[in-house]
Every structure is written in C-alpha cells, then in structure tokens.
C-alpha cells in the first residue's frame, strides 16, 4: 500500500513538473512574441511606451489563468490581445497607452488574486494608484468595475476589514498625489479628473466606429465570446467579461462627450471572451458545426483586404504585401471554418502575427495615425 502511495505521489510530482515546464514555455513564448512585435523598428518612439504594452500581453495571460480552469483560454486570449490592431498601434505610439494598459491589467490581476489571499488587496490598491496617476477616470472606472465583480463573484471578500485596509493603503498615494495637485498647485478638479479638453459631441461619436473597425478581424470572435459568456453566468470569467465590457461601454455611451475616455480598456475583456470561445471550439468534437457567421465575416474581410492589396500594390509595395498577407490569412481561415477544421485557430494567429510583423517593419507603420485621429480615440 505504501509503495503504491509513494508511486502515485511521484507520478503527481512528475505531472506537476511537466505542467510547470509547459507553463514557463508558454509564458516565455508570449512575452518574446510581444516584445518582438511591439519593439521592432520603433525609430524615435520611446522604448518604454512599447515594453509596457508588451508586458500587458503577459499580464492578460495571467488574468486568464486566474479566471479559467484550463490553460488554453488564457493563451488564446493573450494571442488575440497581441494581434489586436488598436493595441499594437497604441502600444507603439509615443503616449501613455502602454503604461495605462499595464497598470490596468496589473490591478485586475491583483484584485482577482485577492480572492484567494487577502494580502493581494494591497497590490491591487497600489496598481490602482499607478493607474490613477496615468488616467484618473480610468482608475475610478476600473476600481468600480473590480468592486462590482468581487461583490457578485466573491461577496464575502467585501466583508473583510483586511481587504479594505489593504486596498485603501494601496490607493493612498494616488489620493495624496491628486490632493497635492488640487490644494497646493491649485489645479481645477475638472482638469484633474479629465473633465476638460474632452471631445466634442460630433467627434465623440467616432469611438463607436473605431471600436468596430479596429476590432476586425476579431469582431465575429468577440461576439461569439460574449454570447458564450451570456450562456455561462455562473463562471467567474463570464461575470467579469460582461461587467467590464458592459460598464465601460455604458460610460462611453453616456459620458464620452464630456469625459476624456480612451476606448482601449474595452479590448482586454473582449480578448478574454474571444479566448474562451476559441478554446471551446478547439476542444469541441469535429462534427460540431461552427457559426456560419464566422466564415462569412472572415471571407468578407479577406475580400476587403484583397481590394486594399490591389490598390496599394501600385503605390507602395510594402503596404501591398501587408494587405496580401492579411487577405491570405483570412481567406484560409474562412475556408478552414467551412471545412470544420479547428486548425483555423492556429492559422489565424500565425497569419495575423506575421502580417503585423511585416507591417511594423515597413516604413509606414505610423500610417494608421493619418487615417483617423487615433491619439484622441486610443491614447487619451
């Protein structure tokens, strides 16, 4: 009996070591891919706005590991986030977007870990402080979203004085910082909270167009992920996805005309939803039908990319190659979905990553900022 018991212990230890090794390999792979994509061919753009954006990809992976019982959804979520067009452009821009995303995801990660260990509430508060110093409104909104999630998912946590003590100690630096700016430097509270310099009513309507346009080609996956979250209300990841995306969209709808809000914080929960649905599809039986809407959407986007390829090929070869790679990737993805082949997930990740790598290595990677004023939409 003892010999069998010890053999079982050795087997569990071997499985644990193998799992840890695979986890470390995935973390190293995600971080390396993010650093290459965000830091290649930066030119005069500061390296720190780019490194922090790359680190935010790894933080989203860890957030997924806290939420999902399996590793695949976390990995897929991180890869969706990495190949999301606005995250790449904003992270490589000379602004505070990378720092904002990094602090935002770090605060959410610590808030999730505080469900298991109350000492993480101090880290969550400190990350909220850092986020508040980058953008006061984003810090307030994320703090409210995190508290709503914990009240729904782990209500016992809010009855703990240790949790509140750690959180309040953590946010104390941000409160002190804004207090000094308001009392001693006499800065108006409207400026401190981002209530001045906001977009006009006409311009603020562009955020909805930008949200849909720059969510391509992942938009059908995002909608499928949100539907899956709606069907799984009892899971923590579904609660967080709907609270985070729903509350932030609500604020954008009602307050974007007088608050300087970036739409970047909406993409992490959408990436988590997309990672969840892709993991479900990847593990599903082969005879389970895929949503017809996915194939049609990817094919339509591939046709648009083909048109852009034909247009730019006569003007700029580098942009023509970029759009050709996008068209090929999405076309293969659509055909794979039609054939019920789960390998479309691998195809779209590799294809988009290589396409974006081609784009950032071209002399035109800042071209996107000339199309629409992205700095006002994403980097505010």
- Give tens-digit pLDDT for 97-118: 788 889 899 999 999 999 988 8
Residue-level pLDDT at 195: 53
3 confidence band (pLDDT: 50, 70, 90) = very low
pLDDT over threshold 70, residue 373: no
Q: Decide: residue 37, CB within 10 A, 0-12 exposed, 13-18 middle, 19+ buried.
A: buried
pTM for the whole structure: 0.87
Under 8 Å between Cβ of 276 and 229: yes
Cβ neighbours, 10 Å, residue 343: 12
Asked whether the beta carbons of 57 and 105 are under 8 A apart, the reply is: no
Mean pLDDT of 77-85: 93
Q: Return the pLDDT at 78.
A: 95
Predicted local distance difference test score (pLDDT) of residue 2: 40
Q: Looking at residue 5, what is its pLDDT?
A: 33
Q: What percent of the chain has pLDDT over 90?
A: 33
Burial of 377 (0-12, 13-18, 19+ CB in 10 A): buried
How many residues does this entry show for the chain? 380
pLDDT band at 149 (very low <50, low <70, confident <90, very high): very high
Residues 274 and 221 sit within 8 Å (Cβ to Cβ):
yes
**From CA 145, how far away is CA 62, in angstroms rounded?**
19
Mean pLDDT of the chain, nearest integer:
80
Cβ–Cβ < 8 Å for 61, 109: no
Identify the residue with better confidence: 302 or 138. 302
The pLDDT, as a whole number, for residue 256 is 62
**87 contacts 81 by C-beta, under 8 angstroms:** yes
Q: Is the peptide bond before 217 cis (omega within 30 degrees of 0)?
A: yes
| pLDDT over 90 (residue 82) | yes
Q: How far apart are CA 207 and CA 145, in angstroms?
A: 21
Nearest to 272 by CA among 53, 61, 104, 71: 61
Q: Which band of pLDDT confidence, cut at 50, 70 and 90, is reported for residue 200? A: very low
pLDDT tens string 230-245: 988 889 999 999 999 9
Per-residue pLDDT, averaged over 325-345, amounts to: 92
Q: What is the pLDDT of residue 257?
A: 58
d(C-alpha 291, C-alpha 156), whole Å:
39
Q: What is the pLDDT of residue 76?
A: 95
Q: How far apart are CA 283 and CA 238, in angstroms?
A: 18
CA angle 70, 75, 79 (to 5 degrees): 155
Mean pLDDT lowest for which of 1-10, 265-274, 319-328?
1-10
> DSSP label at 41?
T
**Contact yes or no for 229/245 (Cβ under 8 A):** no
Spatial CA neighbour of 87 closest among 111, 139, 63, 52: 52
Give the C-alpha separation, 339 to 290, whole Å.
9
At 75 the pLDDT is 94
Residue entry with tokens 């914990």:
150
Q: Could you give the angle at the alpha carbon of 123 between the alpha carbons of 120 and 124, nearest 5°?
A: 90
């Amino acid at each position: 009996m003892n010999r069998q018991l010890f053999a079982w212990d050795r087997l569990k230890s071997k499985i644990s070591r193998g799992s840890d090794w695979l986890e470390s390999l995935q973390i190293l792979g995600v971080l390396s891919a993010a650093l290459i994509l965000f830091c290649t061919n930066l030119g005069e753009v500061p390296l720190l706005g780019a490194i922090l954006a790359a680190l935010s990809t790894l933080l989203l992976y860890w957030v997924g590991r806290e939420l999902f019982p399996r590793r695949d959804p976390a990995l897929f979520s991180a890869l969706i986030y990495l190949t999301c067009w606005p995250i790449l452009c904003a992270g490589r821009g000379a602004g505070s977007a990378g720092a904002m995303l990094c602090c935002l995801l770090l605060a959410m990660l610590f808030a999730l870990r505080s469900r298991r260990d109350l000492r993480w509430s101090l880290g969550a508060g400190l990350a909220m402080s850092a986020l508040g110093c980058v953008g006061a409104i984003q810090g307030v909104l994320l703090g409210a979203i995190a508290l709503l999630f914990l009240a729904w998912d782990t209500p016992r946590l809010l009855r703990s004085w240790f949790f509140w003590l750690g959180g309040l100690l953590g946010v104390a630096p941000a409160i002190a910082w804004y207090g000094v700016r308001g009392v001693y430097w006499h800065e108006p509270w409207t400026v401190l909270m981002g209530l001045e310099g906001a977009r006009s009513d006409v311009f603020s309507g562009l955020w909805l167009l930008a949200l849909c346009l720059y969510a391509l080609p992942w938009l059908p996956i995002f909608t499928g992920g949100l539907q899956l979250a709606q069907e799984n209300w009892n899971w923590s990841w579904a609660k967080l996805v709907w609270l985070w995306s729903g509350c932030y969209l609500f604020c954008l709808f009602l307050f974007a005309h007088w608050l300087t809000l970036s739409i970047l914080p909406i993409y992490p929960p959408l990436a988590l939803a997309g990672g969840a649905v892709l993991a479900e599809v990847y593990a599903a039986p082969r005879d389970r039908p895929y949503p017809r809407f996915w194939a049609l959407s990817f094919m339509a986007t591939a046709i648009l990319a083909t048109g852009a390829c034909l247009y730019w090929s006569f003007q700029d070869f580098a942009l023509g190659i970029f759009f050709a790679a996008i068209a090929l990737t999405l076309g293969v993805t659509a055909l794979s979905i039609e054939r019920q082949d789960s390998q479309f997930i691998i195809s779209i990740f590799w294809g988009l990553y290589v396409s974006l790598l081609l784009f950032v290595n071209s002399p035109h990677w800042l071209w996107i900022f000339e199309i629409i004023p992205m700095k006002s939409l994403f980097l505010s």
